[in-house]
């Protein structure tokens, strides 16, 4: 429960000394005032013994050491004051608060508070609690109750508080509030604020000290029982992450206490020293640990190997480095993809540590830094600060990448699609290729020919690849030649919808295997409906090209996370099913799969990481 008050109108402007002196205020037992405890009112809200102070008909609620409310409480039936334990009296000369207090003798002084990290973000346990327990890499703005820097200077006064906001990229400790009853009031407070137009839909999250108040967007001091000393001492530190006030992902957690206890301790140690280098040192330690782990897990997958030297080495949240991906191409180049502000801020540390760890593991690689400006903009990063590698416009400079014994010319220095190679489809390419022996294959959205070349290598009778990008078609054609697979394998530049329409009109409807791997058609949930209509049409038209007499195979893909995640993956399958009804073909689902295993996942804590669905269907002959 959050109780708000315009304290400034009730107390003098010197709120802060009052806050700090709560323990003295209550426990030193001055004369002239009395106080009383109240343990019994509305258990659903309060589990702490409360202290009520009455002044001129207005009641103030305190926990054992902190001010909770200055709202008039007496009119509310829930707040029953137990007057049966009158004892000592008390006064305070430090404020203009003139109160009388009834006190029991048995008030227990508060426990000494744990020392707290300097920069900290508190998240509601109620929200995402399961996800946090399972190591969620992201703290959403909506889950935060407060974020603050601890006051270290006792002489700070109210005027300095404004300057204590946490900055983009600050390494913060993340703590979960273990008080369940906070949730309801927090929600209500946020709801009220939204209703009043306050905070413009942002969570109320800026607190300025570990005492119990923060300023809302109107500069009004708000009390929040989330941060009473009891709740602070029961805060559970769960990890360290990078803070971003501009992103809905308010914190990207980079180190969880549960999974990396000794790294967590080391970071604590580093941050407790007073060097200005501390955040970078801590980040470098995290990077070292995470890169080493990433290499170990790829080694356990047998990557790289003699057949494959191109794979994903770091997969963002899947490897505990939210917003950072690294693809190794051709065993000689590592393309780093940055899509989060923290990556740009710590770019030189990332490059440096990656280089160091690769060298230590005998994987010396040239590093290329690439950015996704749209995602960085979403993450609040100022695009004017973006520094691309100078040689990133060298579209001619290519290397050979090998995957499943097929060589591909890739251009990691060119500004083009992704990192230059879609290594997420590696396992799906082999999966469908194994069904292509002696078959007629159509590879729709073929890019540089991955599915087509695998199909040919596995003995396809013929293959046509279609893509709207001329560069992709040129590269696919060259790749077919490099691998000696160009006989009976050709590539056409066209829009796939046009191509299918034309092919149907030409009566060429006898494909045995069709691969349909369009680009991301649903960039977000809001685009799902429109995208599903496109998927419907594309899948319907693809099925119509499958041999109507023998039937065939359709591997249909979506790389839209919104599509893949909707209804636990059922939405995409239902869309394809609906398309089959439109095509008047019976389809049978044989298998669904996702991205190749080097695209590590953490499905329990970060289901949004699953973006790719590849669904393998048998398409029955056409019944007339």
Ligand X SMILES: C[S@@+](CC[C@H](N)C(=O)[O-])C[C@H]1O[C@@H](n2cnc3c(N)ncnc32)[C@H](O)[C@@H]1O
State which of residues 224, 317, 517, 541 lies at the interface with ligand X (CB under 6 A). 517
User: Which helix (H) or strand (E) segment is 503 a member of?
Assistant: helix 496-505
Strand segments, DSSP code E, in 286-381 are: 311-315, 324-329, 333-338, 366-371
- Binding of residue 468 to ligand X (CB under 6 A): yes
The residue count for binding ligand X (CB under 6 A) is 18
8-state DSSP, 57: T
Q: Least separation, in Å, of the C-beta of 432 and ligand X?
A: 10
Stretch that binds ligand X, among 177-185, 336-344, 398-406, 442-450 (CB under 6 A): 442-450
User: Which helix (H) or strand (E) segment is 463 a member of?
Assistant: strand 462-467
Stretch that binds ligand X, among 114-122, 136-144, 516-524, 595-603 (CB under 6 A): 516-524
Q: Least separation, in Å, of the C-beta of 455 and ligand X?
A: 11
Residues 389-418 contacting ligand X, CB under 6 A: none
As a whole number of angstroms, the distance between CA 452 and CA 450 comes to 6
Stretch that binds ligand X, among 4-12, 87-95, 398-406, 443-451 (CB under 6 A): 443-451
The pairing of strands 50-55 and 100-101 is antiparallel
Give, in order, the Cα–Cα distances in Å from 558 to each of 536, 554, 575, 593, 597: 12, 13, 11, 11, 17
State which of residues 61, 455, 472, 602 lies at the interface with ligand X (CB under 6 A). 472
Stretch that binds ligand X, among 104-112, 116-124, 208-216, 462-470 (CB under 6 A): 462-470
Torsion of CA 129, 130, 132, 136, to 10 degrees: -130
- Binding of residue 535 to ligand X (CB under 6 A): no
Stretch that binds ligand X, among 36-44, 157-165, 456-464, 511-519 (CB under 6 A): 511-519
- Binding of residue 451 to ligand X (CB under 6 A): yes
Stretch that binds ligand X, among 26-34, 141-149, 184-192, 439-447 (CB under 6 A): 439-447
Longest dimension (CA), the chain: 101
State which of residues 224, 379, 403, 467 lies at the interface with ligand X (CB under 6 A). 467
State which of residues 61, 445, 476, 598 lies at the interface with ligand X (CB under 6 A). 445
What is the residue whose two structure tokens read 């960039």? 523
Task: Decide whether 289 or 466 has the Cβ nearer to ligand X.
Answer: 466
| 68 token code pair | 């909770």
As a whole number of angstroms, the distance between CA 474 and CA 617 comes to 30
Stretch that binds ligand X, among 42-50, 484-492, 514-522, 568-576 (CB under 6 A): 514-522
State which of residues 117, 137, 450, 548 lies at the interface with ligand X (CB under 6 A). 450
- Binding of residue 422 to ligand X (CB under 6 A): yes
Per-residue x/- mask for ligand X, residues 289 to 308, rule CB under 6 A? --------------------
Q: Least separation, in Å, of the C-beta of 536 and ligand X?
A: 15
Q: Least separation, in Å, of the C-beta of 469 and ligand X?
A: 4
Q: Least separation, in Å, of the C-beta of 354 and ligand X?
A: 25
Task: Decide whether 101 or 455 has the Cβ nearer to ligand X.
Answer: 455
State which of residues 559, 576, 610, 616 lies at the interface with ligand X (CB under 6 A). 559
- Binding of residue 612 to ligand X (CB under 6 A): no
Q: Least separation, in Å, of the C-beta of 325 and ligand X?
A: 16
Task: Decide whether 404 or 620 has the Cβ nearer to ligand X.
Answer: 404
State which of residues 72, 201, 373, 519 lies at the interface with ligand X (CB under 6 A). 519
Residue from 566, 445, 432 nearest 497 by CA = 445
Compute how many other C-beta atoms are within 10 angstroms of the C-beta atom of residue 328.
27
- Binding of residue 616 to ligand X (CB under 6 A): no
- Binding of residue 483 to ligand X (CB under 6 A): no
Q: Least separation, in Å, of the C-beta of 607 and ligand X?
A: 21
8-state DSSP, 37: E
Task: Decide whether 223 or 514 has the Cβ nearer to ligand X.
Answer: 514
As a whole number of angstroms, the distance between CA 424 and CA 478 comes to 21
User: Which helix (H) or strand (E) segment is 464 a member of?
Assistant: strand 462-467
Classify 4 in phi/psi space as left (phi over 0), alpha (psi -120 to 50) or beta: beta
Residue from 17, 13, 1, 3 nearest 60 by CA = 3
- Binding of residue 446 to ligand X (CB under 6 A): yes
| 589 token code pair | 């689902």
Describe the crossing of helices 450-457 and 426-433 by its angle, rounded to 10 degrees. Answer: 40
- Binding of residue 453 to ligand X (CB under 6 A): no
As a whole number of angstroms, the distance between CA 121 and CA 175 comes to 6
User: How far is CA 475 from its chain centroid?
Assistant: 34
| 492 token code pair | 């056409």
Q: Least separation, in Å, of the C-beta of 522 and ligand X?
A: 13
Stretch that binds ligand X, among 144-152, 283-291, 297-305, 447-455 (CB under 6 A): 447-455
Residues whose CB falls within 8 Å of the CB of residue 332, separated by 6 or more in sequence, listed in order: 365, 366, 399
Q: Least separation, in Å, of the C-beta of 234 and ligand X?
A: 48
As a whole number of angstroms, the distance between CA 449 and CA 176 comes to 48
- Binding of residue 469 to ligand X (CB under 6 A): yes
- Binding of residue 425 to ligand X (CB under 6 A): yes
As a whole number of angstroms, the distance between CA 199 and CA 286 comes to 34
Residue from 228, 287, 218, 207 nearest 46 by CA = 228
- Binding of residue 496 to ligand X (CB under 6 A): yes
Strand segments, DSSP code E, in 517-581 are: 552-558
Give, in order, the Cα–Cα distances in Å from 607 to each of 125, 410, 568, 603, 616: 19, 30, 10, 4, 22
Q: Least separation, in Å, of the C-beta of 548 and ligand X?
A: 24
Q: Which residues contact ligand X (rule: CB under 6 A)?
A: 422, 425, 445-447, 450-451, 466-469, 472, 495-496, 517-519, 559
């Amino acid at each position: 429960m959050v109780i708000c008050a315009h304290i400034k109108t009730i107390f003098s402007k010197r709120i802060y000394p009052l806050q700090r002196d709560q323990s003295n205020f209550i426990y030193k037992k001055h004369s002239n005032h009395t106080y009383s405890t109240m343990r019994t009112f509305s258990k659903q809200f309060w589990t702490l013994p409360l202290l009520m102070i009455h002044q001129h008909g207005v009641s103030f609620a305190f926990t054992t050491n902190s001010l909770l409310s200055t709202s008039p409480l007496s009119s509310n039936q829930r707040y029953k004051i137990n007057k049966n334990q009158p004892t000592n009296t008390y006064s305070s000369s430090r404020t203009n608060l003139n109160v009388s207090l009834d006190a029991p003798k048995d008030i227990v002084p508060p426990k000494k508070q744990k020392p707290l990290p300097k920069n900290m973000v508190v998240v509601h346990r109620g929200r995402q609690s399961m996800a946090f327990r399972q190591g969620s890499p992201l703290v959403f703005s909506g889950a935060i109750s407060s974020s603050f820097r601890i006051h270290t200077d006792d002489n700070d006064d109210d005027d300095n508080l404004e300057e204590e906001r946490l900055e983009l990229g600050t390494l913060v400790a993340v703590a979960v509030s273990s008080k369940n009853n906070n949730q309801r009031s927090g929600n209500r407070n946020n709801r009220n604020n939204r209703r009043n137009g306050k905070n413009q839909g942002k969570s109320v999250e800026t607190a300025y000290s570990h005492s119990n108040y923060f300023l809302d967007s109107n500069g009004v001091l708000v009390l929040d029982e989330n941060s009473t000393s009891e709740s602070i001492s029961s805060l559970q530190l769960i990890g360290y992450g990078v803070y971003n006030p501009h992103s809905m992902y308010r914190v990207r957690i980079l180190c969880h206490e549960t999974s990396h206890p000794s790294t967590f301790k080391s970071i604590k140690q580093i941050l407790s020293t007073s060097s200005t280098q501390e955040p970078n040192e801590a980040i470098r330690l995290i990077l070292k640990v995470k890169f080493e782990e990433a290499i170990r897990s790829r080694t356990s997958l047998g990557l790289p190997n003699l057949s494959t030297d191109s794979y994903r080495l770091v997969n963002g949240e899947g490897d505990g480095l939210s917003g950072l991906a690294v693809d190794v191409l051709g065993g000689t180049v590592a393309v780093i993809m940055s899509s989060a502000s923290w990556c740009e801020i710590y770019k030189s540390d990332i490059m440096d540590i990656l280089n160091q760890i690769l060298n230590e593991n005998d994987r010396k690689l040239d590093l290329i830094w690439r950015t996704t400006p749209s995602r960085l903009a979403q993450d609040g990063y100022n695009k004017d600060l973006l520094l691309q590698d100078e040689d990133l416009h060298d579209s001619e400079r290519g290397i050979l990448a090998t995957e499943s014994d097929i060589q591909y010319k890739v251009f990691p220095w060119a500004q083009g699609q992704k990192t230059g190679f879609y290594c997420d489809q590696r396992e799906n390419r082999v999966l469908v290729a194994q069904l292509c022996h002696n078959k007629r294959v159509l590879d729709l959205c073929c890019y540089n020919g991955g599915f087509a070349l695998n199909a040919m290598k596995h003995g396809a009778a013929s293959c046509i690849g279609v893509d709207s990008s001329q560069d992709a078609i040129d590269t696919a054609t060259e790749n077919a030649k490099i691998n000696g697979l160009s006989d009976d394998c050709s590539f056409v530049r066209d829009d796939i919808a046009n191509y299918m329409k034309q092919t149907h009109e030409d009566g060429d409807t006898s494909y045995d295997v069709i691969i349909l791997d369009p680009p991301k058609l649903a960039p977000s949930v809001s685009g799902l409906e429109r995208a599903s209509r496109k998927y419907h049409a594309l899948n319907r038209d693809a099925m119509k090209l499958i041999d109507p007499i023998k039937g065939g195979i359709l591997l249909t893909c979506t790389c839209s996370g919104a599509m893949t995640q909707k209804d636990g993956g059922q939405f995409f399958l239902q869309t394809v099913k609906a398309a089959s009804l439109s095509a008047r073909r019976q389809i049978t689902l044989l298998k669904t799969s996702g991205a190749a295993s080097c695209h590590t996942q953490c499905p329990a804590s970060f289901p949004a990481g699953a973006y790719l669905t590849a669904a393998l269907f048998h398409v029955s002959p056409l019944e007339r």
